[in-house]
Amino acid sequence: MHGWKHARGVVVASAVGVLVAMGSVTVAVPGAAASPNKTVITWAEKPGQAPNYIFPFMTVAYNTVPNGDEFNNFMYRPLYWYGKNGKPVLDTALSLANLPVTSNGGKTVKITLKTYSWSNGTKVTSTDVLFWLNIWHQKPTRYAGWFPGGLSMPTSVTNFTVTSPTTFTIDFNRSFNTQWLLSDELSTIVPLPLAWTRTSTSAPAGSAHCATAPYGTADAACKAVYTFLSEQSGLNPTNPSASTNALSTYASNPLWQVVDGPWKLKSFGVTAPIVMIPNPAYSGPNKPTYKEFIEEPFTTASAEYRALVSGTVDVSYYIPRTEITSPAKAPSRPTQTLKPGANNPRLASTYTLEPVYEWGFNAIVENQRSTANHGTAGALLRQLYVRQALQSLITQKLYIDRLEKGYGVPDYGAVPVWPRNPYSSAYEASNPYPYSPGHARQLLESHGWKVVPNGVSTCTKPGRGAGHCGAGIRAGAKFEFTMRYASGTTAIKNVTVAERSSWEQAGIRMNLIAQSFDTIVGASTPCPHGCSWQFAAVGLGWDYGGTTYPSGQELFAKDAQSNYPSFTTPTVNKLIQDTITVTSQKNFTKYENRIAKELPDIWQPQQVTVAEIHKGIVHPPLSPSDNTTPATFHWK
């Protein structure tokens, strides 16, 4: 499933004029690295990013990499697993099912499950898949992966038939691009155990009959089950802002002990370590070979770096750029491979530095329906020339060369350009909006703005039409916004300060507010009918997660659950539909180029992950899909 992600390794910048790169900062940490405990592997969570939701059926407010790829997937496995040998491709060995077989002109798929068991001794069956779809059917919009228009499951599903405990068929309302269907729809299914079909902790398992009812016929029962499971995970669907103590019960709640993945919870904490132990009933490949997998939380980047220096963590997907002592040679073309520099001397004897491209894009998310400033914020962001001016003041190459220390690649749209892949187009890779303060100022002046460099530009020609500020922008309106950025690392603060300084060249004022990652993700939800937030910067943008096809229906289809900017045009909607219903690279390229041109988000450089792995650990190539697989790690 796709989702929000936060920085693994982040940019460091300082705002003096436009931009001045900071020098290296060394944190003094006494003592030598500790000898590893080879009965456990301790994995460092990224600063300020503790999981906070356990029910695999996630709403948009909880749709994050820390909750999905770095927590849920360890215990509850999706039908199809993406990420293999360091590439965002299907891993058939780790998938719960064999490849689907299509018939009826592509409208019907037949799927056969492999032999997997739940930890309570029951088998993973076709009914468990029906349970997931029945939960989804009772209110499609609850799930973060849903999008409108009749093409998304479950609204595209006309029938689900259990033909045996291990086989089932799904009938759809039309034929689809087979690659999209497998990668973006079927891979989102997470079979749910019958032990969860209840509406209270005292009710018998299966008593709610949500899983066994024919598809789409038990919405009332499934709504009650969904509400119960959500509340047990910490979300009251009727009052999402209500406080809860559910997180403290994750490890003790019998519901969450029924798992089909390689791990189960021993203890859970947001500010304390999460401890997982092997699931003895796990029947899939790559069974854990050590006793405990520990997720260690960190509130700050410096604290995580100190843990690396002292050797108290074994795996970290984060090292401050200030602590990278030898820059990488960044690729200048997608055909080239990044060449990493030498590891930090304080870490080199204990860890191997491993760079990993991300399968996604980095962006500042904007709310085109913002009601802030009496609606002026949203009215501004709905103007393409405004988005073009903002983008033209993002100096990507400088960020990568001086601040990322070479561990980064540019983003010019919603489809990854690096590494080379069959989806990226020549138009997007050409950088449609290169850095140009002069062009940014010219755009504003030609649309009726009095540009005040290092001040605040104002609208002098309100209204629609050529040479005017645009619909909904009144005379005297100020070019001013508020951006909320993720706290936890000085680096994220510094890069937003640098961008603010750059935008000031065109009289664009950006007020900055620091909040936690979870707070920003929870508050910056899509609001097509208007809400107050304006810009959100969580450090690394969007992750295509457990898929290989970087399509845009969740992100940019009208009223989609993950359409954070509330961006929509009839042309984009039609292009998205074409990528879904017809297998055609030509259709995909049209969609990709349109998104790069329309700028629904403000593109930023994509950071290359700089992971530190203990030299005593053997593991397969790290996945660019963020699908962490700790069960495949083992000590020499």
Domains of the chain: 360-607 (3.10.105.10)
Quick one: tokens of 557? Answer: 């289809």
Quick one: tokens of 582? Answer: 């017809």
Where residue 520 falls among pLDDT bands split at 50, 70, 90?
confident
What CA–CA distance (Å, rounded) separates 2 from 63?
Answer: 8
What CA–CA distance (Å, rounded) separates 89 from 191?
Answer: 21
pLDDT per residue as tens digits for the range 477-505: 999 999 998 886 666 777 788 899 999 99
Residue 519 has pLDDT above 90, yes or no: no
CA contacts within 13 A on the Cβ side of 312:
13
Instruction: Give pLDDT, residue 542.
Output: 82
What CA–CA distance (Å, rounded) separates 291 from 41?
Answer: 9
The mean-pLDDT minimum among 18-32, 211-225, 229-243 falls in: 18-32
pLDDT per residue as tens digits for the range 105-144: 999 999 999 999 999 999 999 999 999 999 999 999 999 9
Instruction: Give pLDDT, residue 18.
Output: 32
Region 571-575 average pLDDT:
95
Residue pair 111/170 in contact (Cβ under 8 Å)? The answer is: yes
pLDDT per residue as tens digits for the range 410-429: 999 999 988 778 899 999 99
Residue 24 has pLDDT above 50, yes or no: no
Contacting residues for 239 by C-beta, under 8 A, at least 6 apart: none
What CA–CA distance (Å, rounded) separates 310 from 313?
Answer: 8
Where residue 33 falls among pLDDT bands split at 50, 70, 90?
low
Residue 575 has pLDDT above 80, yes or no: yes
Region 201-230 average pLDDT:
95
Report DSSP state, residue 110: E
The mean-pLDDT minimum among 46-55, 190-199, 533-542 falls in: 533-542
Where residue 531 falls among pLDDT bands split at 50, 70, 90?
very high
Instruction: Give pLDDT, residue 540.
Output: 58
Other beta carbons within 10 Å of 465 = 10
pLDDT per residue as tens digits for the range 61-70: 898 889 999 9
CA contacts within 13 A on the Cβ side of 131:
26
Instruction: Give pLDDT, residue 13.
Output: 28
Where residue 25 falls among pLDDT bands split at 50, 70, 90?
very low
pTM given for the model? 0.87
User: What is the rounded average pLDDT for all residues in the chain?
Assistant: 90
Region 206-235 average pLDDT:
96
pLDDT per residue as tens digits for the range 369-391: 999 999 999 999 999 999 999 99
Where residue 54 falls among pLDDT bands split at 50, 70, 90?
very high
Contacting residues for 532 by C-beta, under 8 A, at least 6 apart: 370, 371, 372
Across 372-524, where does the E strand assignment appear? 408-409, 449-450, 458-459, 480-486, 509-515
